[in-house]
Amino acid sequence: MISIKNVSKWYGSFQVLTECSTEVAKGEVVVVCGPSGSGKSTLIKCVNALEPFQKGEIVVNGISVGDPKTDLPKLRSRVGMVFQHFELFPHMTVTQNLTLGQIKVLGRSEQEARDKGLKLLERVGLSAHKDKYPGQLSGGQQQRVAIARALSMDPIAMLFDEPTSALDPEMINEVLDVMVELAREGMTMMVVTHEMGFARKVAHRVIFMDAGRIVEDDSKDQFFGTPRSERAQLFLSKILQH
């Protein structure tokens, strides 16, 4: 579904990604972890071309992301993305947030888009808030709306860029629950997160990044059992201490 081959990226002369390669198969849940500044967010943003990369190739559902001839809006509309800071549109109501892409990009009628949006809103347990503005919701609620918004486009895969790291601790679980459910339904997911509990529960594979490189790319059991790199062991021992 998603294939990343030898991807390198520079900001000026500073190299942020070095020869990254991995695959995400259909229905697979892959968790990407690693210390801050290791390039995880950059890598996931390369997958739907929000960040350009200078070397290598990324292929999503048979379409090359880096190819200048690729219709990027069309490709992106098929890949859902959830951001660390939710990025709901603050000047639109929850319902408008849910229907905008469906109407403008997929060409659905307003009624159709609304029905779909409200159905997904119910799924994330927020039907009562359909007419509110994002600013009136808590962080956890906003992030659930953001997930519903991404799902409204009927994506073939979902990208999550640290979806819980801007949340208060008591709101993390309501978001993770939605994600776990999604994973169990067989959604293809690439998730940048520090939530190792989530990784243990639903991930098929765990990728560990450090300094712009993919250091570990293991099955979940391998990763939590015996990570090969010292850096990954250190990282795990730090975040699993408590």
Partner 1 sequence: MGFDFDVIERSLPYLFRDGMTFTVTLTLLAMTGGIFFGTLLAMMRLSALKLVSMLAGAYVNLMRSIPLVLVIFWFFFLVPYIGAWIFRESQPIKVGAWLSAVITFTMFEAAYYCEIMRAGIQSIARGQVWSGYALGLNYWQTMGQIVLPQAFRNMLPVLLTQTIILFQDTSLVYVISATDFLGAAAKIANRDYRLVEMYSFVAVVYFIISYSLSLLVKRLQDRIAIIR
| Interacting residues toward partner 1 by CB under 8 A | 45, 48, 50, 72-74, 76-81, 83, 85, 87-91, 100-101, 104-106, 135, 149-150, 153
Backbone torsions φ then ψ of 137, nearest 5 degrees: -105, 160
Residues paired with 4 in a beta bridge: 22, 58
**Smallest gap, in angstroms, from Cβ of residue 77 to partner 1?**
3
Question: Within 13 Å and on the Cβ side, how many CA atoms surround 56?
Answer: 22
Rank residues 132 and 201 by Cβ distance to partner 1 and give the closer one: 132
**Smallest gap, in angstroms, from Cβ of residue 231 to partner 1?**
29
Rank residues 79 and 176 by Cβ distance to partner 1 and give the closer one: 79
**Smallest gap, in angstroms, from Cβ of residue 97 to partner 1?**
10
* 112 SS3 class: helix
Rank residues 74 and 238 by Cβ distance to partner 1 and give the closer one: 74
**Smallest gap, in angstroms, from Cβ of residue 108 to partner 1?**
12
Quote the CA–CA distance of 166 and 136 in Å, as a whole number: 17
> How many whole angstroms from its chain centre is CA 118?
22
Quote the CA–CA distance of 202 and 200 in Å, as a whole number: 6
**Smallest gap, in angstroms, from Cβ of residue 48 to partner 1?**
6
Quote the CA–CA distance of 123 and 30 in Å, as a whole number: 23
Rank residues 26 and 91 by Cβ distance to partner 1 and give the closer one: 91
User: Quick one: which H or E segment has residue 75?
Assistant: helix 72-77
Rank residues 153 and 172 by Cβ distance to partner 1 and give the closer one: 153
